[in-house]
Structure 1
Amino acid sequence: MAKGSAPCVKCYLAFALVVVIVLAATGVWNPFPGLWDWVNRSRPLAEPDVTWQQRVDGAPQSITVTDRAVIVEHRLTVEGHSLTSGNQVWEHKADWAAVAGTGTDQVVVAGTLLVKGYQVLNPATGALLRRDEAAVAVWTYRNALLDVECAGPRDCTLRAWDPRGQQPRWTAQLPGMGLVLFADNPQLLTSRPLTARGVADDAGGPQNLPAALGFPIDGKIHVVETRTGKVLQELKEEQHERIVVLGGRVFTLVATPRDGACYYTATAHDPVTALPVWQRAGINLRTADRTGCAQRHNPTGGPNVLAGVAPDMRETVLDAHDGRVLWTGAAGQELRAVDDRYALTRSADGTTLQAYALPTSTPAWTRPIDDDAQIALTRYAALVVTRKPDRVVALDPATGTELANLRTSAEVKAVGPAGMVIGEGREIGYVRFAGADLPAPAVTGPGGVDPGPTCGGVKQESCPGDGSKDG
């Protein structure tokens, strides 16, 4: 065949493309949506596959598992997803959001930065339950919601609410909060948990309201008893001191520099009488930096326990209320996670996870782990995260029974009573724990059930029976 008579491949491709475009324009056949779905299809987050997987609008700020919904906080919105299907049920414009309550009393509290007030929403439907127009800060707990409103620079009122309450339980007068307190859950003077890479710091959700709280205001610590709202003390830290409030006690933690070392003393006071109740010397609660013993951090531990290092370098867990030693490690044993019920440790050789039910000196269960495994503890599951190979394992804290075992590079974002949410980038997925029951469908109105993706939020039509303006 002559050189000039070869078939024109480019001409045939151009002609085929024109035919496809004509067919799509006339509605006869349109391959483009399916093609785009194939290109945009998400790869599975884990193996075995998760119960459901969804792509959300941007990397989440935080995620919380509630009784019937998964609450996803973004930079400008908060949204609720069905716990059963993962479908987005509602969306609400907000700069910040947090969850309070437990079970059917749970609520989502949402607001706008630099704007007073907040909204209390139903987690399952997004319906507005209560609106506040004056509060400048909110704290969320499993059994309460606290907020503070200020009539002037030196005149503020702290209020405690039931999560779904319409009237405050009590109010307390405090001086001006200043600019350090705003939005949701500003830091108070209490213990800080041990953390792990691969697990969100707030994966366990809200804690119970402590018996007393310490509010830092204008260089002083105001101690508030949370049953009646009585302001018990107004304290000021002295040199080398740090004051924190936990376990129903007010602690004066002293780190004194001497001979190139830091010498530690922890004294627990009764918040009502201000009298010392117990004292321990030599326990390093990880409050001080190496230089000058300056205590810039809250002590490590849980809501009612303190975790530190004894003078003989063995790790120790103390009962914050009465000072009892709840657990002491062996030489080289490392405490990796602790709460009021359990302590999770790594053996001295780094190859064994050991779980202790406090107070006890004998492990309740053990499990082999990699030497680089990260360990975390939540109310409903102990977590072991490894990389190379990527794996996430959820365990029953009491027995060590496997609740989930996944091959995944995703992070654990939130843990609930029946499962956990893992996420990577914009992808989130729900993993139901072994033996967990399916949640009841979320009711959105008379006779209505979980509407899936067909209603709620600014991108979809309004859900039936939902009275909130923003979905």
Structure 2
Amino acid sequence: MVVVALAATGVWNPFPGMWDWVDRSEPISEPDVVWQQRVGGTPRSVTIAGDVVVVEQRTRVEARSLATGTQLWERKADWAAAAGGDRDAVVVVGKLLVKGYEVLDPATGATRRRDDDAVAVWTYRNMLLDARCVAATDCTISAWDARGTAPLWTAFVPGVRSGLLGDNPGLLGTRRLDAVRIDEKVAGPEPVPPLLGFPIDGRVHVLDTATGRVLQDVEPGRDERLSVVGGRLLRITARSQDGACYFAISGRDPATGREAWQRTGVNLRTADSAGCVQREDPYGARSVLIGVAPDAREAVLDGYDGRLLLTAAPGEKLLAVDDRYALVRTADKSAVASRELGTGRVRWTRPAGAKAGAALTPYAAVLADEKPSRLVAVDPRTGRELASLRTSANALAVGPQGMVIGEGREIGYVRFGGAPVAPGRTGDGGVPGPGGTAGVPEPEDSCGPKRELCDG
């Protein structure tokens, strides 16, 4: 008792280093991460913003150095989201049920721009949108460069949907496939689509993000669901007949309203089994859609022209998709294969369990497996292994040179390809040149098959 009392009062410590050992966290992966830190609360989202890791929690946001994990700053906030790319990233924060937001520098937390009127914000890799209303039926949508101080354009819309408050409220597009132990925002902010569909009072207003023009103001039919994907307005019809649902998809030119393509028989999983009522957006990503063909095989469609980009083999299951590749679980459930959209060519195959999850990001394909629990990151193009961890942690964010994993309040950074190298772009034989890191893949052009995501 005397020993315990003396140690507790600080008079004498008979066990040097004991309290440091008690407080020290167990490593969350094997091999160990570059750094591991305990954050203030359980993360709601984690984003790599340039050289900073941004951690959104329930009532605060904090930023940590990507190199060391050291906390750089902390702010009270009810929501936070990252916008911009690797070189012009910002952090947008706000409070629930309070108008306005702040745009922060991710390295310092300093306020770059403040807004006191916006009711909603949408964050993208190359743009930030906000909405403000002077009356219930008199609203504007404004577009900003991530670090801009004046709007690029402003569009007038007759109100916003009830409940559009905070960051990234839902628009009419696609929803991502879920993956166990991989956060749905692991890829970070996406490039802004060429068109956005704003649901307002039972109608859909289609907005051109290059010019700010409202191209369409459409009311869906009784059996229709509207979605905006790949530069087209999709009218998805689900009709109940003979105890089954019959589907038809019409891709419309947003400027003229004319039909650009049409397909029947592909189930985009927008309807439930009760009377074919469509309550969900279709699955997909960027400019592509995921559906089920009449022969029960999963298929990937181009939202721009309706082309069938991939039809899975019987028994194969789509795990992840972007506008370049699809990751599928093989029919025997023993492996995950990468298939190139448009050609169907197998790019690579890796052994994986029957319950493995997967996600595609610009810099890496991430696989989560169990028995044993593992996280693996590979080059999306070649399947070359970038990181392999024995861990029960989740994949939270992927950046150009590594990824953040986390379990509870513990987060850690994993560098791709091992030790750091001087900045440089990957060239033949792994020799770095300007702009990247040796052995680390750079993101491919993701402009879509018709460059509809890039060309104005």
Q: Does 1:326 align with 2:309?
A: yes
Q: Does 1:141 align with 2:124?
A: yes
User: What CA distance in whole angstroms lies between the structure 2 residues aligned with 1:20 and 1:151?
Assistant: 64
Matched position secondary structure for 2:18: helix
Partner of 1:254: 237
**Partner residue of 1:105 out of 59, 76, 88:** 88
Partner of 2:77: 94
Q: Cα deviation per residue 1:201-226 (whole Å; 9 max; x = unaligned)?
A: 11111111111110011111111111
Post-superposition shift, 1:76?
A: 1.0
Alpha-carbon spacing, 1:175–1:314, altered in 2? closer, same or farther (3 Å): same
Matched position secondary structure for 1:39: helix
Q: What does 1:324-403 align with in structure 2 at a 5 Å threshold?
A: 324-403=307-386
Matched position secondary structure for 2:19: helix
Alpha-carbon spacing, 1:189–1:322, altered in 2? closer, same or farther (3 Å): same
Q: Cα deviation per residue 1:401-438 (whole Å; 9 max; x = unaligned)?
A: 11110000001111111111110011000001116746
User: What CA distance in whole angstroms lies between the structure 1 residues aligned with 2:398 and 2:8?
Assistant: 48
Alpha-carbon spacing, 1:242–1:38, altered in 2? closer, same or farther (3 Å): same
Larger radius of gyration: 1
User: What CA distance in whole angstroms lies between the structure 2 residues aligned with 1:69 and 1:279?
Assistant: 45
Q: Does 1:204 align with 2:152?
A: no
Partner of 1:223: 206
User: What CA distance in whole angstroms lies between the structure 2 residues aligned with 1:66 and 1:436?
Assistant: 21
Tell me which amino acid in the other structure corresponds to 2:406.
Answer: G
**Partner residue of 1:290 out of 268, 273, 295:** 273
**What TM-score, normalized to structure 2?**
0.90
**Partner residue of 2:110 out of 102, 127, 130:** 127
User: What CA distance in whole angstroms lies between the structure 1 residues aligned with 2:388 and 2:48?
Assistant: 19
- Do the aligned residues in 2 keep the contact of 1:419 with 1:436 (CA within 8 Å)? no
Post-superposition shift, 1:238?
A: 1.5
Post-superposition shift, 1:33?
A: 8.9
Q: Cα deviation per residue 1:150-204 (whole Å; 9 max; x = unaligned)?
A: 1111111100000000000000001121432010000100011112011011111
Q: Does 1:175 align with 2:127?
A: no
Alpha-carbon spacing, 1:156–1:406, altered in 2? closer, same or farther (3 Å): same
Matched position secondary structure for 2:216: strand
Alpha-carbon RMSD across the aligned residues, in angstroms, is 1.6
Higher relative contact order (CA 8 A, sep 6+): 1
Q: Does 1:165 align with 2:159?
A: no
Matched position secondary structure for 2:119: strand
Q: Cα deviation per residue 1:259-295 (whole Å; 9 max; x = unaligned)?
A: 0100000000000000000000000111111121111
Question: Which ranges in structure 2 are unaligned for 5 or more consecutive residues?
Answer: 424-456
Tell me which amino acid in the other structure corresponds to 2:208.
Answer: E
User: What CA distance in whole angstroms lies between the structure 1 residues aligned with 2:259 and 2:318?
Assistant: 28
Q: Does 1:116 align with 2:99?
A: yes
User: What CA distance in whole angstroms lies between the structure 2 residues aligned with 1:313 and 1:365?
Assistant: 25
Post-superposition shift, 1:313?
A: 1.2
Tell me which amino acid in the other structure corresponds to 1:313.
Answer: A
**Partner residue of 2:46 out of 57, 60, 63:** 63
Partner of 1:445: none
**Partner residue of 1:234 out of 193, 196, 217:** 217
- Do the aligned residues in 1 keep the contact of 2:3 with 2:14 (CA within 8 Å)? no
Q: Does 1:407 align with 2:377?
A: no
Matched position secondary structure for 1:336: strand
User: What CA distance in whole angstroms lies between the structure 2 residues aligned with 1:114 and 1:390?
Assistant: 40
User: What CA distance in whole angstroms lies between the structure 2 residues aligned with 1:321 and 1:236?
Assistant: 21
Question: Which ranges in structure 1 are unaligned for 5 or more consecutive residues?
Answer: 1-13, 441-471
Q: Does 1:156 align with 2:136?
A: no
**Partner residue of 2:246 out of 260, 263, 270:** 263
What is the aligned-residue identity percentage? Answer: 55
- Once the two structures are overlaid, the 10-residue window that deviates more, 231-240 or 264-273, is 231-240
- Do the aligned residues in 1 keep the contact of 2:92 with 2:102 (CA within 8 Å)? yes
User: What CA distance in whole angstroms lies between the structure 2 residues aligned with 1:429 and 1:202?
Assistant: 17
Number of residue-to-residue matches in the alignment = 423
User: What CA distance in whole angstroms lies between the structure 2 residues aligned with 1:140 and 1:33?
Assistant: 49
User: What CA distance in whole angstroms lies between the structure 1 residues aligned with 2:45 and 2:282?
Assistant: 24
Partner of 2:443: none
User: What CA distance in whole angstroms lies between the structure 2 residues aligned with 1:218 and 1:32?
Assistant: 68
- Do the aligned residues in 2 keep the contact of 1:84 with 1:439 (CA within 8 Å)? no
- Do the aligned residues in 1 keep the contact of 2:140 with 2:157 (CA within 8 Å)? yes
Partner of 1:73: 56
- Do the aligned residues in 1 keep the contact of 2:353 with 2:370 (CA within 8 Å)? no
Post-superposition shift, 1:340?
A: 0.5
Post-superposition shift, 1:346?
A: 1.2
Alpha-carbon spacing, 1:33–1:293, altered in 2? closer, same or farther (3 Å): farther
